[in-house]
Structure 1
Amino acid sequence: MKPFSDIPQDIMQDVVAPFLPNAALLNLSLTSKENQKNHKELLNKRHQQIFVEKKLPEYEKNLDFLMNATMVSANALEKARQVIVQLEPEIIKHIDLIPAEHAFKLSRICSVRSEKDCFYWAEIAASKGHEWAKFNLAVYHNEGRKTCSKAPSKAKKLFKELLESTKNQEVRDKIRWYIGTHPEINGSFETQSSEENTNVDSLNMEASDNIKNGAAKKSASSLMGIGMQVLGGFVAVLGLAAVASGIVLLAAVSASAGLIVAGSGLAALACGLGLFAGGRLYHHWNGSSQSLNQPLKI
């Protein structure tokens, strides 16, 4: 049993249990090349387990503290820095063992104070298939952020690959929003699959339609507001003319007729001024509400 003494009991039980009814088979299993290979694999898995469950979280915790902590002592910062210096070589050595979610978390931790490290971990997370990391990389390339040179064509390629692979509707919706608010990458995406081609083309058309519809709505709102103001001004002028006519009738012809015409003129004047003011308010309110409804930029 000595070769297995460094294996946790729960794992050991799985290995040895099948041979317990027969001591000869158990002895054979401990000396066979096949089980020596199994033993090595079990040890590797154990080391991986320790790395992922203990060392990686410890590295993340201290890196987060070092990057984002405020109002802390210099000693605490130095202690965190020493832990990072101690663990970093092993972290870099075992990049292949780091799960995509942890790599993405490290990217988020570094995003505030270290653009280089943020991009480094985002690339690793994306290479491991993390969809939000792929989305962020596309955004970085399109906007020239996080040490990237501005490259809309590369961003378009990344979005295309993500659209071909993802089944996550939230990711697709986020891409739809981003394409709709960034016309420089709102073009057709060529895809291998006819099904995806249909999806991406419709996505592109929808994003393009969103831009066109927004402009059309803005134009229609502007025209409606101007129309209300013109109509209001016209009615107000008619009202003023009616008031003047009523005054003339009141003085020269008939007091009752003059009062009726003047009263009608005042009503028309009030209506015209109301329409004019309403047109102004409508134009202003609609433009403001459209700007408030724009999605927040990442």
Structure 2
Amino acid sequence: MALTSHSEDLAHLEGINYLFGYPISHSMSPLLHQTIYDALNLRWTQQLFESKDMAKFLQLTRDPKFFGASVTMPHKVSIVSHLDALEPAATAVGACNTIFVRKDLKTGQRRLIGTNTDVVGIRDAFYQNVLNPKEVFQERPALVIGGGGAARSAVYALRNSMQVSKIYLVNRDDFEVDAVMAHCKANGFGQDLIHVRDLKQAESLEGPGAIVACVPDFPPVTEAEKTARSIFQCFIQKKHKGAILEMCYHPHPWTSIAEMSQRAGWQVILGTEAMIYQGLEQDRYWTGRQISDMPVEQVKKAIASKLSKSKL
């Protein structure tokens, strides 16, 4: 089926996309995208649609000015069944965070296509910040902390794009880890996954070179949470020091996990880096421009300025 980008029709016209999720009032996504649109002289905007109403959101996508959407929790999985097609990353991860519009050249019908740029955000957060990936994390084990959709995205990025040897999974909930492992294996990227269940097992394993932390910044309270934290601390104290991507950046990007990692000698990559690079990838789909043609440094400055003000 021959398709063309609907955003091409809006290049010189007013265009709109949405951030669809709940709650999202704290999101920096509109700032990120507006910085890009202004620099590219596009009369486009991203608006927050803070709602759980799927039907209302789908109605908004029928607006001729609509060219795409960012999708966040709790809709990343439920949106999939409402789309016309998915790109491989969204199919594999089982979640969509980006919708773009393509027009059927024969019928003129607008089709909603879903993809997952979270995996690109994770990949590029490492490759844009780690000077020597081969020495730091390639051909070494990696560690993913967490058990939700972000953990699946992390496994996909590590397995498909970062050349790691194996992937350790650590979480307070064993059932969630088992579900992540089952999903990854069923979708073709679950080889060499190891569920690390206790401190003794962690002590026996080779240290990781890349860590992706996908958990909120809360102190451990339950025994299961304390066990997961002790496993993490065991890994960062091992001889090899790599890079950790702390995906949590709200309400503050410098978390307790970031602090512990830095003290242990690890390079800390803030979660805003993954947010920025997944957003740039979204605009690659929407604008048809290459990321090299986008105001990357301007975006980083805008996000950093917003973060500095939020700390005041």
TM-score range, shorter chain: under 0.3
> Which structure has greater strand proportion?
2
Higher relative contact order (CA 8 A, sep 6+): 2
The structure that is helix-richer by fraction is 1
Using structure 1 for the length normalisation, give the TM-score.
Answer: 0.25
Name which one, 1 or 2, has greater alpha-carbon Rg.
Answer: 1
